[in-house]
Amino acid sequence: MDSVQSEIAAAAARMVVEEGLEYGPAKRRAVRQLGLPARAALPDNDAVEDSVREYIALFCADTQPQELAALRRHALTWMERLADFRPYLAGAVWNGTATRLSDIYLQLFCDDPKSAELALIDHDVNYEARTVTGFQGGPVEALSLSSVCPGLGEAVGVHLLVHDHDDMRGALKPDARGRVPRGDAQAVRALLEME
């Protein structure tokens, strides 16, 4: 990675941690803030994640572990509520880079994709439905809601990405670094026990 990409990754990491931005918007805003051309080569997400970990170690080491644990406990609560839909935790809360500004991303694997939405309606949960790109590159429904995280004492975003049950086959394939990109409730409990 060249020095310009390193600068973009470092600036993006600061925005991810301090403002709760997702990687894509953070990289684009970093390019603008650094006064670089709009077509500047962007660092990949692994480079940004490495910079996020460095930023957290330098500036948030005293608060981030407790915030991460609170978010993981809250994610586990939602996973237990949604157990019928085979939930898996993904994103920053799963990979350990979450702070109090991070959202929780749960991937559901349903026989009937509308069943998760119906379950939220049955329990009077307010949510917003939209279509996003799933981990396999195709469109999936995302049900986004706000939920108070007891460990933080504030509301956090919870996003339920609804996949077809058959999509689970490729869901646990390790990424380029050999890491599993998501985990079920048992895996989240194991992470909490290690903290």
pLDDT in tens, 26-52: 999 999 999 999 899 999 999 999 999
pLDDT at 66 > cutoff 80: yes
pLDDT at 164 > cutoff 70: yes
My answer on whether 54 and 25 are in the same domain is yes
Q: Which residues pair with 90 in a beta bridge?
A: 105, 182
Tell me the average pLDDT across 52-75: 97
- Class of residue 22 by CB neighbours under 10 A (exposed 0-12, middle 13-18, buried 19+): middle
Q: Is 118 helix (H, G, I), strand (E, B) or coil?
A: helix
Q: The tokens of 22 are what?
A: 């997702």
pLDDT score for 146 = 97
My answer on whether 179 and 132 are in the same domain is yes
Top mean pLDDT of 100-109, 131-140, 158-167 is at: 100-109
My answer on whether 53 and 78 are in the same domain is no
DSSP label at residue 42: P
> By C-alpha distance, which of 183, 148, 143 is closest to 159?
143
List pLDDT tens digits, range 175-184: 888 889 999 9
Domain boundary, last residue among 26, 41, 59: 59
pLDDT at 78 > cutoff 70: yes
What's the CA gap between 191 and 168, in Å, rounded? 21
End-to-end CA distance of the chain: 32
Tell me the average pLDDT across 5-15: 96
Task: Specify the residue for token string 């890491």.
Answer: 179
CATH of the domain at 110: 3.30.460
pLDDT score for 2 = 82
pLDDT score for 172 = 80
Angle at Cα 165 formed by Cα 128 and Cα 129, nearest 5°? 5
Lowest mean pLDDT among 11-25, 91-105, 159-173, 181-195: 159-173
Asked whether the beta carbons of 43 and 9 are under 8 A apart, the reply is yes
Percent of the chain with pLDDT over 70: 99
pLDDT score for 1 = 62
Give residue 153's domain range: 64-194
What's the CA gap between 167 and 9, in Å, rounded? 31
Q: Which amino acid is at 189?
A: R
Tell me the average pLDDT across 77-85: 96
Q: The tokens of 162 are what?
A: 């609804």
My answer on whether 41 and 101 are in the same domain is no
H/E element holding 27?
Answer: helix 23-33
> By C-alpha distance, which of 11, 9, 8, 60 is closest to 38?
8
My answer on whether 54 and 72 are in the same domain is no
Domain boundary, last residue among 59, 76, 106: 59
Tell me the average pLDDT across 94-118: 94
